[in-house]
Amino acid sequence: MKEWTSAEWETHSQNANVAAYYLYAPMCGTCQVASKMMDVVEELLPSVKIGQANLNYVEHIAVEQQIESVPCLLISENGQISEKIYAFQSVPYLYNRLRKNV
């Protein structure tokens, strides 16, 4: 998954039908597992724009979107945040959440 700046996220979220922004913290063990899951989902859904960012470098997004914890997956649909996922239950769960918006 490519690291996105907040500007790249804004561009993708406004211009793509569906875009996802995976927010993590480098020292978070749960985030390490979620990262591996997101890598698989990205391979399964090439039509969905997916990027990631260390939340420490995009703090204003945490404030704007009222992020409660990491890992967090922001899903944008037609320019609007449609969902925030905190519980990365499984690859099939994430796949289905993103696929339903395609």
**Token pair listed for 89:** 């239950």
Residue 6 has pLDDT above 70, yes or no: yes
Q: 3-state SS of 43-60? A: HHCCCCEEEEEEHHHCHH
pLDDT tens for each residue of 7-55: 999 999 999 899 999 999 999 999 999 999 999 999 999 999 999 999 9
Query: How many domains does the chain divide into?
Result: 1
CATH of the domain at 73: 3.40.30.10
C-alpha 65/C-alpha 44 separation (Å) is 27
Instruction: Read off the pLDDT band of 100 (50, 70, 90).
Output: confident
pLDDT tens for each residue of 53-75: 999 999 999 999 999 999 999 99
Residue 102: the pLDDT is 60
Please give the helix or strand (H or E) that residue 35 lies within, else none.
helix 29-44
Domain of 62 in residue numbering reads as 2-99
